[in-house]
Amino acid sequence: ASAYKPEESRVPLAIQLPPAPISKFKIALCQLTVTADKERNIAHARKAIEDAAEKGAQLVVLPEIWNSPYSNDSFPVYAEDIDAGGDASPSSLMLSEIARSRQITIVGGSIPERSSDHLYNTCCVFGTDGKLKGKHRKIHLFDIDIPGKITFKESKTLTAGESPTIVDTDVGRIGIGICYDIRFQELAMLYGARGAHLICYPGAFNMTTGPLHWELLQRARAVDNQLYVATCSPARDAGAGYVAWGHSTLVGPFGEVIATTEHDETIVIAEIDYSLIELRRTNLPLEKQRRGDLYQLVDVQR
């Protein structure tokens, strides 16, 4: 196997999986109903996070665009200046407050973010001290056209992010992607090579691609990289301009669906056990079997 130069298959070298601060914990995926009432959405999300914490969740994940309708018309209206904080970003202020008061880690789904003259689809990660630990701007914008089914172009209003986001938290090293980011295996491979235990994808797949690809992509990202993948979708609103598929899910490092749901509003509570990552990587030692003599994954920013 050494003749295959597996150590050269990732450039720079893959980071060894770091020891996690905790081996087992509960994760909550809050599949929320989203309305046009921003104040209601924020209060509703707060209540869901409180409920999840009461049920023992140490990591809470929210959906993509949970404070606003999902539409190009709405993004500029509901956008917040996250960097300014305070009253300029009531959604992130709420997440910070509840993360601190409940001493939980929150992957805050995503909200429209205004920064200078640009709008982004942005996920904020808050630590147990309430501080912002990471901010991921959706890298791959959702521009698709399936005639007779769905046409949507986020690029009409949104700007693409420029950086992968990996965050060390009290519940392990977490990579962040938003919805369409899940389709690009290279991003997940970067996170795996950077030592992620878990990748969280807040997302809102639609009624065309959801039934075909939502679970498939989650399981593929998990089994290819031998780590956990968690997704969180808005609940389905058949009367909305954009109808979400739902089905928030947790997938384990063997590609197994650990917990999932249908399309109604709910909170999915499940256990993550990081010891399974080492077990699966021992069972299938992919890292030692890669063909560095034939291909490389180059992490440009490293």
Could you tell me which of 160, 61, 69 has the C-alpha nearest to residue 108?
61
Type of residue numbered 163:
S
Cα–Cα distances in angstroms (integers) from residue 46 to residues 43, 124, 192, 244, in the given order:
5, 15, 31, 21
Query: Where in the sequence numbering do the catalytic residues fall?
Result: 64, 138, 179
